[in-house]
Amino acid sequence: MNSKPTIEVKKASNESNMTLIRRFSRRVQEAGIIRAVKAQRYHDRAPSKLDRKTSAINRLKRGKEVERLKKLGKWVERERGAPRKQA
C-alpha cells in the first residue's frame, strides 16, 4: 500500500452526525483501506542483504565460541528449557 488514499466527506446542511459517520465509513470500506491495513498488519519486511550477512557472521562466531568452550570442558549440554550452567 504505497499510496495513502484520503477519504473526505463534508456535512450537508440538513445531515445528522450519524449519517455523516455512516457515509464516511462506507467510503472507507469501498476504498478498501481497512482490508489493506489488516493485510499489512503482521507483514514483516524481508531483512536486507547486510542484515543477513551480519546475522550469518554472528551465527558463525557463536558456533566457534561454543566449540571453544566444549574443548575447554566449560560447555554443559542441557535439556531444552533448562537453564545453562557453567562448569
Q: Is the pLDDT of residue 83 over 50?
A: yes
Residue at grid coordinates 500500500? 1
Q: pTM of the full predicted structure?
A: 0.46
Residues 4, 28: contact at Cβ < 8 Å? no
Q: Is the pLDDT of residue 1 over 50?
A: no
Query: What residues does each domain of the chain span?
Result: 1-43, 45-78
9: Cβ–Cβ under 8 A, 6 or more apart, which residues?
A: 20, 23, 24, 27
Taking only the tens place, the pLDDT of each residue in 60-77 is: 999 999 999 999 999 888
pLDDT at 3: 67
